[in-house]
Structure 1
């Protein structure tokens, strides 16, 4: 099994032969999100997916996390196109940030995917070239010949892409499953994959998210009757929380609401935007007169309305979270309301989601989720489906993608069952450099590849800033100012300390002031006149005092004013 090399830069790597292909995943490996891979052949680049990762509790103030494409900063002109497998945020969310740096990169995706991207680009005020493609189409982009295949997923119009070059044939599945009776009748194109298998797939890059789950994923059609029964039996308001891109699931809710004579209202900016797009393109069927505004819904009798909201992952600023904390402008949760979480739980969001569920329960709501009812099925292939794909496509090599390390390793174990050897299974992390040469796949190096944090409109918040935010949030800060005259080597005004988030009693803080005065006077008498060195001396004294006395580690902000 190929192993990771020491980190470096692109220039540190061995040269790529003219007939070879280089693949560098920049996100989506060892994590759920930030999916992005760069393919290189004959000096040209192809980007497949460009998604975001949502922050965790130890990343305060961060809105989204981008892949790190800084190693390609001076090669943006070499990018032929961005190819998108489907319209989920973890595959399209970073597109506007890449197009900020070169807006004329053409974007290829399905009709719905590009519509979602286009809406995002308008918010960012970016004009771009969006090229719609569909399953069965072939497109040539420089040295890359692409062929698109229908795959079934939890969003319409998902596609796999086959990439043909002189180096060989790569099949990238994107996210997929094998629902045999999907709601839109669009099944995963196993016949197409089999045809590629006869042609010879040199490398299969396949979704690993559910590799640990045995068997096959339950069909989406099983959910409809359950959702309808929840809405039929509820006596008061119903709030359904879902991903803003889960068109099929929201269609099931709409159908159930219509059948039970309830109006629907969309809540949350991304939900309103995406459902508007899906409705305009015909992917969402909403009977005339069924929708109402959130203002109207708030005035209606609770038994007459279903609210479809964002916030299924416990996002702090989402509509559902604001309802749970009583801070939503229009909707107040009341005893007897029903909240339906119609989505999966993204790994890492467990604490946030449980917090919201408990807050809703405390307000008297009945919370229904996949833990107590069949209201969600996964959009990712389980182990039985992955085995089916491996046996159908018969790849020469496998590179598990899209998943945490446990998912990638489980996928590798499945591949061994189908006869692939360790040498044919490429286990990689973000930044690993994989070369496909003469049908052989090998990890040849590793590039520096971190996370890019977005805070508001600013991309590139560094790790030290996040560390400072954590310290401030957990320990507060302790500041101290002293006025000295370095020319006369004396203290003009004694140290004055204050704190925030550390201690409410000013007398506690005042105890450090004589210690600072004593140390600064000693430094001055020893001939130290540099303000920075004096400030560092203050920091050491304050740090020792707060650690020894209070066993705390607040941020320390010393200030020396030299008259």
Structure 2
């Protein structure tokens, strides 16, 4: 390693949308940008979240100077409670981001012991030989920033999530001057968002959404139930403003929606009077055409407030014929089936449901489209472009677009150590990186073997064979009993379990009576025999657990 060269090390987010974390190393100093989580797909039963593997940071814990956060979305701050417990380093963030982090860390009893620093837009923070400037950018949550990271080895612009909105909801434009100033000084590398590189043109303004929602509120005959990401504070503000305009009261449903709105109100990022807000349990005290409900569940999450409303088991809200339900969010890849299932149940109960397929203007992305990505390129004029926050297809599209503009685009994977100098950019080595599966409150992670067992059980079920034998003679004392769950059809159950008993008895009766029995081998023989039987009779291969108690 060249001690004078700057290294860019993505630990998450380089090959997926989520779990964002990038380490910047200069000599013996490391600064980390973002610390996000990712939600599991359907092939990860029992897993709650995925967080970055921070083995590299733990191995270099004395060198880590701090974590700088670009904004308050879960895929950028959600892993902090798990990471800070193992790596207690200072964190730096803008006001709303820090407010959301405080609430999150407080739930894990970590806030009081965390060294947290409030950073204003345009402020520069010095961490060792790193100077990090927080540059305001437009996104779907206030307080979003790009990071201009200046070092003796060169400058990196880390964009975070951004777009160029000329009429943002909060009136704060992306700080083009600061980005152009960095470009004039010279940018070694641009680490940039890739989410919408496959979408042409410019992303529509939030003003378009306001107009679409205004039309919707004008004609809605009864209650309006709108779901969006709980952290999309700008969208919440739009809905509150329009509700007030049409004489509607507003209630929040879902824990994260209630918590985020509370934090945003306390910090002044969500402007709403007490006369507009009502408690969710009091919505039936008002005429249906005077009520708006802002709820979680935009991704069809099974336990979310909206899904429970759709299934008819929410404590306070029953969907009524004529209600208008609005999905003001883009489906995360993999969640489409969950969302459609929720929509079907809502229609079944008589609701009128709108989403971006039926009305594309009720939501706009918080991520830059292709022409905006080009604008960021030309503002900063980097020597090297490093696309992150995207999948493989996004990076390849970035490479093609960048090379057409005569830029060098480098495609990294999580764990790659990219060393950048004015002369060259080279992947020097790889460090440990990947996803740690977290379930419950544990931070040790779910092992692959456990996940495979869960998947096996979910797919094929389980058969347990229990018997008791005399240790000295191998004689059968009790059993065998066969218990099956999710493995054998009811019509086949008695026949198959009886055959399994007989085959187990045959194995046990063939054992020598002189006490020289290897019981581990006996269990293996029983497992193989039952597996073969089940494969022949049912065509399935459930998990077989033989329990032989020798006494």
The one of 449, 457, 464 aligned to 1:479: 464
Question: Any stretches of 5+ residues in structure 2 without a counterpart?
Answer: none
Partner of 1:469: 454
Contact 2:58 2:87 in 1 (8 A): no
Pairing 1:375–2:362 present: yes
Partner of 1:47: 32
Q: CA deviation at 1:369?
A: 0.8
Partner of 1:72: 57
Map 1:217-366; keep pairs closer than 5 Å. 217-366=203-352
Summarize deviations over 1:397-427 as a string: whole Å, max 9, x none.
Answer: 010011111111111211112112xxx3210
Q: CA deviation at 1:493?
A: 2.8
Partner of 2:22: 37
Q: How high is the TM-score relative to the length of structure 2?
A: 0.96
Structure 2 counterpart SS, 1:224: helix
- Alpha-carbon distance between aligned partners in 2 of 1:450 and 1:419, rounded to the nearest angstrom: 32
Structure 1 counterpart SS, 2:520: helix
Summarize deviations over 1:60-87 as a string: whole Å, max 9, x none.
Answer: 2222111111232232232111100001
Structure 2 counterpart SS, 1:239: strand
Partner of 2:497: 509
Structure 2 counterpart SS, 1:202: strand
- Alpha-carbon distance between aligned partners in 2 of 1:300 and 1:185, rounded to the nearest angstrom: 33
- Alpha-carbon distance between aligned partners in 1 of 2:509 and 2:271, rounded to the nearest angstrom: 77
The one of 539, 546, 551 aligned to 1:551: 539
Q: CA deviation at 1:233?
A: 1.5
Q: CA deviation at 1:439?
A: 4.6
Pairing 1:392–2:376 present: no
Q: CA deviation at 1:558?
A: 0.8
Contact 1:56 1:348 in 2 (8 A): yes
Structure 2 counterpart SS, 1:296: helix
The one of 415, 418, 426 aligned to 1:442: 426
- Residues 1:525 and 1:302: Cα distance change in structure 2 (over 3 Å): farther
Q: CA deviation at 1:298?
A: 4.2
- Alpha-carbon distance between aligned partners in 2 of 1:257 and 1:22, rounded to the nearest angstrom: 50
Structure 2 counterpart SS, 1:461: coil
- Alpha-carbon distance between aligned partners in 2 of 1:18 and 1:190, rounded to the nearest angstrom: 33
- Alpha-carbon distance between aligned partners in 2 of 1:480 and 1:282, rounded to the nearest angstrom: 62
Paired residues in the alignment total: 544
Contact 2:398 2:409 in 1 (8 A): no
- Alpha-carbon distance between aligned partners in 1 of 2:423 and 2:305, rounded to the nearest angstrom: 50
Structure 1 counterpart SS, 2:282: helix
- Alpha-carbon distance between aligned partners in 1 of 2:24 and 2:251, rounded to the nearest angstrom: 43
Partner of 1:433: 417
Partner of 1:152: 138
Contact 1:205 1:401 in 2 (8 A): yes
Q: CA deviation at 1:191?
A: 2.2
- Alpha-carbon distance between aligned partners in 2 of 1:522 and 1:45, rounded to the nearest angstrom: 65
Question: Any stretches of 5+ residues in structure 1 without a counterpart?
Answer: 1-15
Structure 2 counterpart SS, 1:148: strand
Partner of 2:157: 171
Partner of 1:415: 402
Superposition RMSD in Å: 1.6
The one of 522, 543, 550 aligned to 2:510: 522
Structure 2 counterpart SS, 1:396: strand
- Alpha-carbon distance between aligned partners in 2 of 1:302 and 1:481, rounded to the nearest angstrom: 59
Pairing 1:535–2:542 present: no
Partner of 1:129: 115
Contact 1:19 1:437 in 2 (8 A): no
Q: CA deviation at 1:234?
A: 1.6
- Alpha-carbon distance between aligned partners in 1 of 2:513 and 2:300, rounded to the nearest angstrom: 57
Contact 2:209 2:363 in 1 (8 A): yes
Partner of 1:188: 174
Contact 2:93 2:118 in 1 (8 A): yes
Contact 2:48 2:439 in 1 (8 A): yes
Q: CA deviation at 1:291?
A: 0.5
